Amino acid sequence: MSYLDRAKQLFEEARDLRRQIHQNPEIGFELPETMGLIQRKLEEHNIASSQLGDTYALVGTLGDSGKGKTLLLRADMDGIPMKEEADCEFASKNGNSHLCGHDLHATSLLVALIMLKEDEEKLQGQIKFLFQPAEETLNGGKLMLEKGILDDPKPDAGMALHMLPNGQKPGILIPKEETLASALNFKIEIIGKGAHGAMPYNGIDPVFVASQIINCANGILARELPSNKGASLSMGYINAPGGAINIIPPRAYIEGTSRSLYAESAEHVGQRLPEIVEHIGKAFRAETKYEAVANVPALMNTAGMSELVKEAAEEVLGTDYVVEYTGPMLASEDYAHIANKLPESCYFFVSCPLPDEAGDLYALHNPKVMFNEEALIYGPATMAQAAINWLKNNC
């Protein structure tokens, strides 16, 4: 039986699990209910797992390392602190949501593991798996490294998937090399001195300083980076508590993000941004504080493994679904922390469009986004086939 046919048999079980996770999303590093639910499902299928250190992450192995190399399969489990607005019978109950599809990611990995467990004697090596928290903070993958995910056993390659709800057709999309951008998420505090708006000379205006920081920081992109190796820089939040029409507040706050597909550009922004914050503050007599709350590298696929995943998808899916290469995206993914430490890796997208009644599709993190649950068939089938093929080719 093919993995596509077996995934179809497992679909109802997978759908029920996905909906249970979807209704009860947990966020950040604290995922006790989600982790417990997945661990119980693994136990039902005789798949042993354990917590990774003191984290809400699950790890385990299948197969025999004596027969070949070790392949890491990874999925994230966390939601986001955002209210869901999609009209579905299993919508979130608690104000958080799975608008990035991590409920489907975790369920897809579970289905792939069930199928690989059933073929455990055929594995020409070992599967190591990871169910990870805190991808949305872009710090979960870094914590997994600190807790030893790449030790005992050390993986020789890795693989992960991500849902794409606004894809054109159901299927598998594989970036050949450049995949996702780096992400530098930051917070800036500007400490001034409050004053009456009519007499600004009696104070130090943090709003004015904030505006200068925003203007000058964008000069990094325009004047310091090559035009063919660019980056983005967006200030998505600015707040000045205590300010009013005629009141200069004592403090202002900025939060933002910078993205790039190029390591040298990401490093340059990461170095120059805090320098600009510090020196603009000094120029206008304000104190400043800069904090990088996340710093994840760009995610790169290795071309050979991307080709293997594409061939595996074509093999197992036939002509039922689209399978093709795709270009990079400027979103970010903290699997890059792990992938950058591996000799080989492939991160692929599962296109799963589900239009609403008006025929509209929504992207990830949109409160109205919907996912075609059929992805729980062709996503895991591709992962399982690619995994068994990779082990066979590398035994």
Q: 280 pLDDT exceeds 90?
A: yes
Looking at residue 395, its pLDDT comes to 79
Residue-wise pLDDT tens digits, 30-73: 999 999 999 999 999 999 999 999 999 999 999 998 899 999 99
**Mean pLDDT to the nearest integer, 308-334:** 96
Structural domains of the chain in order of their starting residue, each with its CATH number:
3-177+300-393 (3.40.630.10), 182-296 (3.30.70.360)
- CA angle, 343 as apex, 391 and 330 as ends, to 5°? 110
Contacts from 65-69 at CB under 8 Å and sequence distance 24+? Answer: 65/125, 65/126, 65/153, 67/123, 67/124, 67/125, 67/126, 67/395, 68/124, 68/125, 68/126, 68/391, 68/394, 68/395, 69/125, 69/126, 69/156, 69/157, 69/391, 69/394, 69/395
Q: 317 pLDDT exceeds 90?
A: yes
Instruction: State which H helix or E strand residue 114 sits in.
Output: helix 102-118
**Mean pLDDT to the nearest integer, 200-204:** 97
pLDDT, averaged across the chain: 97
Q: 202 pLDDT exceeds 90?
A: yes
Half-sphere exposure of 240 (CA within 13 A, CB side): 20
- What's the predicted TM-score (pTM) here? 0.94
Q: Nearest CA to 84 among 19, 34, 35?
A: 19
How are beta strands 344-351 and 157-164 bridged, if at all?
Answer: parallel
Query: For the chain, what percent of residues have pLDDT higher than 70?
Result: 100
Q: 98 pLDDT exceeds 90?
A: yes
Sheet (strand 251-260) strand order: 232-239, 251-260, 182-191, 287-296
Question: Could you give the CA distance from residue 234 to residue 185 in angstroms, rounded to a whole number?
Answer: 10
ω before 153 within 30° of 0 (cis)? yes
Q: 200 pLDDT exceeds 90?
A: yes
Question: Could you give the CA distance from residue 178 to residue 51 in angstroms, rounded to a whole number?
Answer: 32
Cα 250 from chain centroid? Answer: 36
Within 10 Å of residue 330's Cβ, how many Cβ atoms? 14
Looking at residue 88, its pLDDT comes to 87
Q: 356 pLDDT exceeds 90?
A: no
**Mean pLDDT to the nearest integer, 268-294:** 98
Quickly state the pLDDT bin for 358 (edges 50, 70, 90).
confident
How are beta strands 344-351 and 171-175 bridged, if at all?
Answer: antiparallel
